[in-house]
Chain A
Amino acid sequence: MSNKAKGKINPDMLSKYGIYLVLLVLFVVSWMANENFMTKSNLTNVSVQIAVGTILAFGQTILIISGMLDLSSASVLALAGVLSISAYLSTGSLIIGFLVAILVSVACNVLNGLMVTKFKTPPFIATLAMMTMARGAALLYTKGQNIYQIKDYTIFGQGNLMGIPIPIIFLVLTLIITWYILNHTVFGRSIYAIGGNEEAANASGINVDRVKMKAFIFNGILVGLAGVIFMSRVNGGLPNGAVGYEFKALTAAVIGGTSFSGGVGTAFGTLAGAFIVGFLDNIMVMVGLDSYLQQIVRGAIIALAVIYDIWSKSKGKSKKLIMVEETKEKVS
């Protein structure tokens, strides 16, 4: 009973793998545009640059798949980052600093989760509120000033392990963990089910509130990690840092095939989405494209990605099922 026409381009396949095709095309075009693009150092560079945003994007991916989202991640990142540096500077312990970042970020996300599950606040509103509060808290704590002289804290974002930049190691780790969760755990399955049809998931015996909380907590861990790497890379506790990164993360997730209608998305897809955005930014700067034009291009890519997402989803769906439902209502 499949609607897939034989011989034509299969919309399901295009929807799943089209993203990698786009990435490939981008690569080839960039290579031709600037000879320095396809060098080990440039590619490594870009990967380090996208690390923070992609780690945030993995958190967004899990949330969006379950039908939610997080507008607060950039602000919480900043709050967690400045408190983390502060803790390190007063105790001298990198581990304590790191843990503080995770703790602060998880705490903020637990609040997000409570607003959504206990108080039935739409995630958009709840995380929007947190976005403002966390940023305010970061500014209040630092009196709006950057924290300088962070000494060894720079290792998280600027260090190397066996020749590989540490942010890339973190990136790969979070990629694998996110992928594993989505594909090999009950938690992951529940996320997909809740996002695909929350009422059906509930009626099937899934503890929806508990799963949503877990999703926010996982997001919190990633955001805290992102905060550490970010501050470490810029060599300072910037309460104003990472402004707009939550949208970068959302963009990567959406371009990577995560759908706002819920129940759909993958870790690798998000990675591809992040690379597309990252490499696009990279090549635009390398060829010296005008700043304002760059902004337009970025916006256009998002619009195209979302339109494509909606289009490919509507093609695959069975029209027959919609009609049977209409019938049920009419015949009474």
Chain B
Amino acid sequence: MSQAVKLEVKGITKTFPGVKALDNVSFSVKKGTVHVLCGENGAGKSTLMKIINGIYKPDSGEIVIDGKPVNVKNPIDARKHGISMIFQELNYIPEMTIEESFFVGSWPVDSIKKVDWKSIKKKTDDLLKREGLAYNSKTKLKDLSVSDVQMLEILKAISYDSDIIIMDEPTSAITNKEVRTLFGKIKELKERGACIIYISHKMEEIFEIADEITVFRDGKVIDSRPVEDYDLNLVISQMVGREISDSYPKQDLEIGETALEVKNLSSKGSFKDVNFAVKRGEIIGFAGLMGAGRTEVMRALFGLDKYDSGEILINNVPVRIHSPQDSVKHKIAMLSEDRRRFGIVPVRSVKENASLSNLKRFIYKGRLHKSEENAVIGEYFKKMNVKTPTMDTTIDVLSGGNQQKVILAKWMVTNPDILILDEPTRGIDVGAKYEIYELITKLASEGRALILISSELPELIGMCDRVYVMSKGQIKGELSAEDITQEKIMYLATQN
């Protein structure tokens, strides 16, 4: 089956400050086919799609359509080139009606350049009837179910008569029945000669719908083959298959009693029936794809969010935690994944940031003992190799890695028994990363219980004694010792 090539991606590179998102990416998509892109979070797939759709400009390389290089200036321009895109995050305006949203940006006009609402209504009604959707074209989007909105998004993209349709996780919010409908539509589109670029994590779907698969990893294309030449194991191993260096400072530590146990923790809409435990001296990992619910569980545990049911036991005693203050009292610490929002106070000094969670420690005769504060915090900074001009430097001039160390120091000052670290090395340079791994190991060796949420599989494998894997708000499995492999983690993480 040799069909003509519709779209070619040639040598695309895109760098954001500090991060190379795409590195010399090339592959081609044939007319009338479904081309699936696979890869972990941050592998670069969405960035590439945004470039094709005109949202970003590549640093180098080109996009070629029907043999001619094109310069897509913006999404409206993309539609003129026959490209339309369904986004991963639903982008819609709740107050808009169905007919308004359908033609957003390209409303048909009549002879006097007025928006032709009559023709819009007719077109919308026709479409809704054809698809068997029992909605009035004047229904507001906010009155539709999430899956309906997503279906409409899909219909909208299809309605543009585009011949390159990009679908980024289109089935994330729709029911199985609607998935069937979608796949039916996709078949129609293929017959029409359009091509579909389909991003998904769902392995069963991929193998059902794909004609060709391209695997991404760390911004590069690892491989690109027809689906017959792939099986599940190969896809997964290509997605994750990087060299696992032994450069993690893991030691064999003495593992003590259970410090924290969580039973049947549930929060409607976020996670369900979460059960896990951590012992002293242990580092347990929480793996999962974006949206799996790991951060939500920890935020509930720490008292930042409410949960509906479940029990939390510390040293086998049930506790009630309603706020971060309660957590700190119970000697729990949490390093948030969103440092900017929940971690640092940007306009204050590194010293003030570092002492914030345990100011009581520095009270002497009713007031803040500043020299004691300077000494203690200074010690921590020295041990952790925090690079800052002075103790009074404002924290927001430090590099990301050093900021992270300051916040980690803040939690160490509270002398916690249980430490939750949510993506502690994200966005941090290699050198600082290693220092943080050493700190984590040291904390565990002091008899504390550590929970490590991470999207970096090598990190989880290198640092953790056990790994819980979450998907769609539930724990799908627990891996320990030699079973902690990238493939096994990824397999569980992509479970439905």
Contact = CB atoms under 8 A, between A and B. Distances in A.
B400 A324 contact: yes
A206 B352 CA distance: 13
Contacts of A321: 340, 346, 396-397, 400, 403
A200 B368 contact: no
A35 interface: no
Contacts of B17: 320, 323-324, 326-327
A200 B19 CA distance: 26
A1 B356 contact: no
A189 B356 contact: yes
B42 A332 contact: yes
Contact of A328 (B46, B323, B427): B427
A2 B400 CA distance: 13
B46 A203 contact: no
Contacts of B341: 197, 199-200
Contacts of B359: 186, 189-190
Interface in B283-300: 290
Nearest to A202: B324
Given A2-B393, A186-B368, A206-B356, A192 B19 contact: no
A316 interface: yes
A325 interface: yes
Contacts of A12: 394
A190, A261, A331: residue with the most chain B Cβ atoms closer than 10 Å: A331
Given A203-B334, A324-B17, A263 B345 contact: yes
Interface in A201-234: 201-207
Nearest to B45: A332
B217 interface: no
B352 A192 contact: yes
B324 A196 contact: no
B255 to A, nearest CB: 28
A198 B468 CA distance: 32
Interface in A111-143: none
A332 B44 CA distance: 7
Contacts of B471: none
B350 to A, nearest CB: 12
Contact of A204 (B16, B47, B324, B387): B324
A327 B342 contact: no
B398 A186 contact: no
B494 to A, nearest CB: 17
A185 B368 contact: yes
Interface in B40-71: 41-42, 44, 46-47, 50, 56
Contacts of B213: none
A149 B302 CA distance: 60
Interface in B312-358: 323-325, 327-328, 334, 336, 340-348, 352, 355-357
A331 B356 contact: no
A332 B290 contact: yes
Contact of A205 (B44, B88, B336, B357): B357
Interface in A271-301: none
Nearest to A263: B347
A186 B360 contact: yes
A330 interface: yes
B47, B302, B324, B387: residue with the most chain A Cβ atoms closer than 10 Å: B324
A171 interface: no
A2 B427 contact: no
B41 A1 contact: no
A70 B317 CA distance: 45
A316 B394 contact: yes
B324 A185 contact: no
A36 interface: no
A12 B340 CA distance: 21
A324 B398 CA distance: 12
A3 interface: yes
A323 B18 contact: yes
A1 B402 contact: yes
Nearest to A313: B347
Given A316-B394, A321-B396, A331 B345 contact: no
Contacts of B146: none
A184 B373 CA distance: 12
Interface residues of A, number: 44
A63 interface: no
Contacts of B18: 323-324, 327
Nearest to B19: A327
A318 interface: yes
A100 B16 CA distance: 62
A151 interface: no
B345 A1 contact: no
A263 B352 CA distance: 12
A330 B397 contact: no
A323 B18 CA distance: 9
Contacts of A327: 16-19, 427
B86 to A, nearest CB: 15
Contacts of A207: 323, 325
Given A186-B360, A205-B357, A1 B352 contact: no
A184 B397 contact: no
Given A199-B341, A203-B304, A331-B21, A193 B399 contact: no
A327 B19 CA distance: 7
B397 A193 contact: no
A62 interface: no
A199 B21 contact: no
A318 B427 contact: no
A328 B290 CA distance: 13
A55 B352 CA distance: 27
B345 A330 contact: no
Contact of A200 (B47, B342, B393): B342
A197 B343 CA distance: 9
Contacts of A3: 397
A1 B327 contact: no
Contacts of A1: 387, 397-399, 402
Contacts of A206: 325, 356
B363 interface: yes
B346 A331 contact: no
B348 A192 contact: yes
Contact of B397 (A2, A204, A331): A2
Contacts of B130: none
A84 to B, nearest CB: 30
B424 to A, nearest CB: 14
A110 B328 CA distance: 28
Among all A-B residue pairs, the 7 with the closest Cβ atoms:
A205-B328, A196-B345, A323-B17, A327-B16, A263-B347, A203-B342, A186-B359
5 contacts: A3-B397, A188-B368, A203-B343, A205-B328, A264-B347
